[in-house]
């Protein structure tokens, strides 16, 4: 088992990661009857894309002996109304690294082939921007 999700009422869940015990709270968004006081399930999907991309780049950066510490990702999720689903995820990766073109290409390709990117439905538009130092 990877995680255990418990519905705690008022359109809110708590998820426990079995291996680490880390907890994530999720809430329905305000535009879908919720309070919007925590990440919504679709927020978590969009956020997962960014964390996966930057983590895979981190793994690859070790092979290249470069340090991505301090790099950030800015995530914007756009919903579609009918049917209600994620229409687009925009991710801006601000890389805290001065790198040559070869290193940038290797790291960008790693990001674009991360497991979450490859798992998302092809109908979801994925817009990715890399900003290098």
pLDDT digits (tens, 9 = 90+) for 12-29: 999 999 999 999 999 999
Tell me, yes or no, whether 117 and 94 share the same domain: yes
Residues with Cβ within 8 Å of 67's Cβ and at least 6 positions away in sequence, in order, are: 61, 97
Mean pLDDT of 123-133: 97
* pLDDT value of position 125: 98
Tell me, yes or no, whether 59 and 32 share the same domain: no
pLDDT digits (tens, 9 = 90+) for 86-124: 999 999 999 999 999 999 999 999 999 999 999 999 999
Tell me, yes or no, whether 55 and 2 share the same domain: no
Domain extent, residue 5, equals 1-39
* pLDDT value of position 115: 98
* Number of independent structural domains in the chain: 2
* pLDDT value of position 53: 98
Tell me, yes or no, whether 65 and 128 share the same domain: yes
* pLDDT value of position 46: 98
| CA dist., res. 50 & res. 47, Å (int) | 5
Tell me, yes or no, whether 59 and 91 share the same domain: yes
Least confidently predicted of 7-11, 32-36, 41-45 = 32-36
């Amino acid at each position: 088992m990877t995680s255990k999700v418990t519905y705690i009422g008022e359109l809110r869940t708590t998820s426990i990661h079995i291996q680490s015990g880390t907890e994530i709270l999720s809430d329905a968004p305000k535009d879908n009857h919720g309070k919007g006081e925590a990440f919504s399930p679709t927020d978590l999907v969009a956020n997962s894309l960014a964390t996966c991309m930057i983590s895979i780049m981190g793994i690859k950066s070790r092979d290249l002996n470069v340090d991505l510490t301090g790099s950030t990702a800015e995530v914007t999720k756009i919903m579609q109304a009918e049917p209600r689903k994620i229409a687009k995820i925009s991710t801006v990766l601000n890389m805290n690294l001065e790198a040559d073109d070869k290193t940038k290409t290797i790291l960008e390709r790693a990001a674009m082939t991360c497991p979450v990117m490859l798992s998302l439905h092809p109908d979801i538009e994925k817009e990715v921007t890399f900003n290098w130092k």
